Amino acid sequence: MSIYGQTKGTELEAMAKTMMQGEANGTMMYYALARLAKEQGYEDLVPLFIEAANQEAVHAGFYAVLNGKYPQDFWGLVKTLQKAETNGEAQVKAMADKVRAAGFAEAADEMEVFAKQEGHHGELMAEILARYPQAEKKEKAKKVYVCPVCGYEYEGDINSESDDWVCPLCGQPKSAFKEVK
């Protein structure tokens, strides 16, 4: 049985959202602590903080599914992530260039590694999509709207969503979406 969206629209939705956000923030904090521990010579603590961060990430994902934060269309989400990660490579590289120009070469060097990783994530998603071609045979929706920021594709009539609906990937309001002809 799927837990997808079980708390959406219930009195538990706000609590699950708070838990999801707390766990996502916990992920960032634990990874930051791992980095700071390494920088400050506490190498023995690094794996402990990374383990905690990984667990927090799993918890955040659980609450996201419980609340139906992302579309249940598995292949649509994989396809969207493939585009976003591929585009993310250029975006992170552009930021790295600005960081380097500001005089922070060490940070820029690491960001360039991150940019390549983003591109690699896009390649992984493309490989997954190629491995399961039947997933692409889904009938196209009559209307498709695209988020101008992350490329997320909404299939169907976006106007049927509530006025406070936002892109599930980047948070842009539905008014920012453009219909694709």
- For the segment 104-163, what is each residue's pLDDT rounded down to a tens digit? 999 999 999 999 999 999 999 999 999 998 755 555 558 899 988 888 888 889 998 888
pLDDT at 136: 54
Can you give the pTM of this predicted structure? 0.81
Record: fold of 139-181: Rubrerythrin, domain 2 (2.20.28)
pLDDT of 138 reads: 55
Q: For residue 37, is pLDDT > 90? A: yes
Q: Please give the pLDDT value at position 156.
A: 87
Residue 141's pLDDT is 57
Mean pLDDT of 48-61: 97
Position 150 scores a pLDDT of: 83
The amino acid that residue 151 corresponds to is G
CA distance 145 to 106: 40
> Given CA atoms 118, 47, 33, 109 in this order, what sign does their dihedral have?
negative
Q: Under a CB-based contact definition with an 8 Å cutoff, are residues 79 and 129 in contact?
A: yes
pLDDT > 80? residue 19: yes
Which are the contacts of 106, defined by CB distance < 8 A and separation ≥ 6?
Answer: none
The sign of the torsion formed by the CA atoms of 82, 86, 91, 95 equals positive
Nearest to 4 by CA among 59, 69, 57: 69
Question: Helix (H, G, I), strand (E, B), or coil: what is residue 142?
Answer: coil
Q: What is the pLDDT of residues 69-103, one digit of tens each?
A: 988 888 988 988 998 899 899 999 999 999 999 99
Over 70: is that where the pLDDT of 62 sits?
yes
Mean pLDDT of 11-26: 97
Q: Where are the domains of the chain?
A: 1-69, 73-138, 139-181
